[in-house]
Chain A
Amino acid sequence: MKAFMAVLGKELLEFMRLPGLVLLILYIFTIEIYVAGAGITLEARNISVGVVDYSPRVTSTKILNHLHMPHFQNPIHYTSQEKLFEDIKNKKIMVGIVFESDFEKKVYKEGGAKLNLLLDSTASAQAFLAQLYIQNILYDYQNAMDLSPIIIDNHKLFNPNAEFTYFMSITELLAIITLLSVLLSAAVFVNEKENGTWDLMLLMPVEPRTIILAKILSQVLIIMAGTIMAVGLVIFGIFDAPFNGSFTIFLLLTFFYTFTSAGIGLFIAAVSKTIMEVAQLATLIMMPMIFLSGAWTPVYAMHPVLEALSYVSPLRYYIEGSQSIFFRGTDIIDLWPYFLGVISIGSVLFWLGIRKIGKLF
């Protein structure tokens, strides 16, 4: 125990002696998360609209009045379709709407009126949303004219206004926890390997397992401190995110997860000799882990091979678990699959890592 505390203290001290690293980590856990949460949205917002209107502009104006912030900018009128097309190409306009000259007549007399929509679909997800908004505006317009027999009551559960801030800041935090715990914990071992002090550590009359666990715990503590800071200051402090679960449970899951992903770091450290190799291996393992974890695309929507692979990624369990704790307010008893997934993957990694790195020869 004494040896354990000594190694733990040494690692924390070493961390504090690198002011650059300390600053970087402070920055990451605060400003980085703030910027991601405050500024980035996957939503279609501020969509620029261009209109060519050949009709008498009565019904068309009524419809255009429904296009407003936050989804749409004020429509810009064009005199010809060519000019509109030109601006769509230069990415100045994302949605073009064209009303034919017989539009009015068709709405009131002949029937079969059509609204022509030109969409810049380079960003397909947003183009799709823009199209949905316009479609829904038309439905609403027709509803107002008492055409539809039904009323749809929409409820977005857990996040009624579909706020991206909470989602983005939490996803960013989870990605950062992964990134840092893998890199930092791999570095504490490989640094010693590069300096040649690792062999000395193993020669000490202390169980290698004790040293390894103490070193890992030191990095886990650093990251946990950062996480608490990020959640407290940024996610709750600035963004005032709703929280439907238990904070203790979230910290517990984070603790296990940080250990598990530090286990990935341990494994990487065991097989590489230089920091350079660590970085290469870490990118190779982490990038797919972060972006294929289900944070950006639901796992069931991926290619079947990737879906199968995601079962061995601890981040998959952590992200789903954290989202359930933060947003869905899942009962504690229903969270067991996430804990089981994280802990079992972690155990395997530690078993492998300690076997490989804990021996001199």
Chain B
Amino acid sequence: MRISVIKAYFKKEMKEMVREKLIIYLYVIPFLFILLFGYGIRMEVLNTRTLIIDNDQSKLSYEFASKFEHSKYFNTDVQTLSEQDAMKLIKQNKKDLIIIIEPGFQKLLAKGQKVHLGVFTDGSFPLRAKTIEGYAMGTIYDFFFEKFKHRLDMKGLITVNQRNLFNQAMRDEEMIIPGLIAFIYLVVPAMMAAFLVVREKEKGTIFNFYASPIKKEEYLLAKLIHIFFLQSFNVIILWLIAIYIFDLPFRGSFTLYFASSMIYLIISASIGLLASVITSTQIVAIILVAIVTVIPGFLYSGMIMPISSMGGEAYIVAHLYPVMYLTHLMHDVFLVGDGLNASQNVQYLLILIAYAMILFALSYLFLKKRLK
């Protein structure tokens, strides 16, 4: 391995990067991603578009409706409509939740009889439907337990005393941003690296490599170091954005954050390099990288859905992609703060190192120093 050769190649790549103005994208894309997704992804459901159909028009039904009107979770309209027209509003995607109060609501309750209450949610987005239904049921039960306190046998009532660990306010940002950082480390360097070899193949400049005495490992290392060097600034930039713009806590050690991010950069750059080595056209290389990074990075990382609640295939797939391990470490440094004291973190860190080595070795194996 000759340092001077690597240095020369590194310089060449850097110059190309600047000349093609790619250096701008390199820093703009991560910045845009984190802002767009940080502000754009919301799992909590606020301002549910709610319609209460009040067929009773009594004092109690007014009070019931106003309970909904005063909640930040619901954006409530009270109307008298036929059930059919109401369903039409859901079909046109104008309402998410419809509650129907039957006539005789107040009277029956006053007599101590049980009353049915119809709650209809739009099930086309299941998570939202479940959450909305949960909110609605909670609000309804709250209202009635409060209202009929005097006549219930209150002793049997059990309340929940809840403590949220690691994310006290259950803010979406605290769940999404650490995952998002891992996502960016996966996608951006891989995309950049995907071009490095295959572009030379398409342009024909790969013959320089075939014909010159540079060794395979020198060639690959030069390309890798170049990506690694440019991306390492992003590690700091994203950290600052997370803490100062999104107000995330940082409970772990910066060293662990930095080290695991750097290891991860090697992994994702190697994924890109590997794709670049095994394909022969740029378009195939990009689509391949997009498939193995974008979708897994979003779905199998544990950023939005916890790995433990995934089913069969997806559970296995999630463990095959490296992104899940980094997401776990990111959650740890931002929210939990156990660092290397937890054996699981050490284990995951080692798995990441193994990935980096295997992926680099694979691209070394597949890179040929002659025409096929």
Chain A residues with a Cβ under 8 A of chain B: 18, 20-21, 24, 27-28, 32, 35-36, 38-48, 63, 88-91, 94, 106-129, 131-136, 138-139, 141-142, 145, 147-160, 162-164, 167, 172, 175, 179-180, 183-184, 187, 191, 194, 274-277, 279-280, 283-284, 287-288, 291-292, 296-298, 300-303, 305-306, 320, 323-324, 326-331, 334
Cα A43 to Cα B194 in complex, Å, equals: 34
Chain B residues with a Cβ under 8 A of chain A: 20, 22, 25, 28-29, 32-33, 36-37, 39-47, 49, 87, 90-93, 96, 109, 112, 114-131, 133-135, 137-138, 140-141, 144-145, 148, 152-168, 170-172, 174-175, 187, 191, 194-195, 199, 202, 279-284, 286-288, 290-291, 294-295, 298-300, 302, 304-306, 308-315, 317, 328, 331, 335-336, 338, 342-344
Q: Please, which residues of chain B bring their CB within 8 A of the CB of A162?
A: 123, 126, 129-130
User: Are B40 and A291 in contact, with the CB atoms below 8 A?
Assistant: yes
Given A35-B317, A155-B118: A276 touches B195 (CB 8 Å cut-off): yes
Across the interface, name the chain B residue whose C-beta is closest to A156: B123
Cα A138 to Cα B167 in complex, Å, equals: 24
Other than A89-B336, A183-B287, give 16 A-B pairs with Cβ distance below 8 A: A47-B309, A113-B159, A119-B165, A120-B166, A128-B43, A132-B131, A134-B160, A148-B145, A150-B109, A153-B118, A158-B124, A274-B20, A279-B282, A298-B96, A323-B124, A328-B93
Contact of B342 among A90, A110, A163, A297 (CB under 8 A): A90
17 residue pairs A–B, Cβ–Cβ below 8 Å: A24-B288, A28-B291, A39-B313, A41-B309, A89-B338, A90-B343, A114-B158, A132-B131, A136-B137, A150-B109, A158-B122, A158-B124, A164-B126, A276-B199, A284-B32, A301-B42, A324-B124
Contact of B40 among A18, A153, A292 (CB under 8 A): A292
User: Are B165 and A327 in contact, with the CB atoms below 8 A?
Assistant: no
Q: How far is the CB of A344 from chain B (nearest CB, A)?
A: 19
User: Are A117 and B305 in contact, with the CB atoms below 8 A?
Assistant: no
User: Are B40 and A302 in contact, with the CB atoms below 8 A?
Assistant: yes
Cα A183 to Cα B25 in complex, Å, equals: 18
Cα A280 to Cα B291 in complex, Å, equals: 15
Cα A264 to Cα B308 in complex, Å, equals: 38
Given A124-B167, A128-B131: A115 touches B158 (CB 8 Å cut-off): yes
Q: Please, which residues of chain B bring their CB within 8 A of the CB of A139?
A: 137, 141
User: Are A94 and B308 in contact, with the CB atoms below 8 A?
Assistant: yes
Cα A172 to Cα B32 in complex, Å, equals: 23
Given A35-B313, A39-B311, A139-B137: A149 touches B163 (CB 8 Å cut-off): no
User: Are A153 and B157 in contact, with the CB atoms below 8 A?
Assistant: no
Q: How far is the CB of B340 from chain A (nearest CB, A)?
A: 13
User: Are A155 and B120 in contact, with the CB atoms below 8 A?
Assistant: yes
Cα A28 to Cα B158 in complex, Å, equals: 50
User: Are A160 and B123 in contact, with the CB atoms below 8 A?
Assistant: yes
Cα A250 to Cα B121 in complex, Å, equals: 24
Across the interface, name the chain A residue whose C-beta is closest to B37: A291
Q: Please, which residues of chain A bring their CB within 8 A of the CB of B294?
A: 179, 287
User: Are B191 and A279 in contact, with the CB atoms below 8 A?
Assistant: yes
User: Are A127 and B164 in contact, with the CB atoms below 8 A?
Assistant: yes
User: Are A117 and B314 in contact, with the CB atoms below 8 A?
Assistant: no
Q: Please, which residues of chain A bring their CB within 8 A of the CB of B45?
A: 298, 301
Q: Please, which residues of chain A bring their CB within 8 A of the CB of B199?
A: 274-276
Cα A90 to Cα B281 in complex, Å, equals: 44
Contact of B117 among A134, A142, A151 (CB under 8 A): A151
Q: Please, which residues of chain A bring their CB within 8 A of the CB of B191?
A: 279-280, 283
Q: Please, which residues of chain B bring their CB within 8 A of the CB of A123?
A: 175, 302, 304-306
User: Are A107 and B158 in contact, with the CB atoms below 8 A?
Assistant: yes
User: Are A18 and B284 in contact, with the CB atoms below 8 A?
Assistant: yes
User: Are A39 and B310 in contact, with the CB atoms below 8 A?
Assistant: yes
Q: Please, which residues of chain A bring their CB within 8 A of the CB of B279?
A: 20
User: Are A183 and B155 in contact, with the CB atoms below 8 A?
Assistant: no
Q: Please, which residues of chain A bring their CB within 8 A of the CB of B40?
A: 288, 291-292, 297, 302-303, 306
Q: Please, which residues of chain A bring their CB within 8 A of the CB of B152?
A: 147
Cα A35 to Cα B285 in complex, Å, equals: 22
Most central of B118, B133, B140, B308 by chain A CB within 10 Å: B308
Cα A27 to Cα B292 in complex, Å, equals: 12
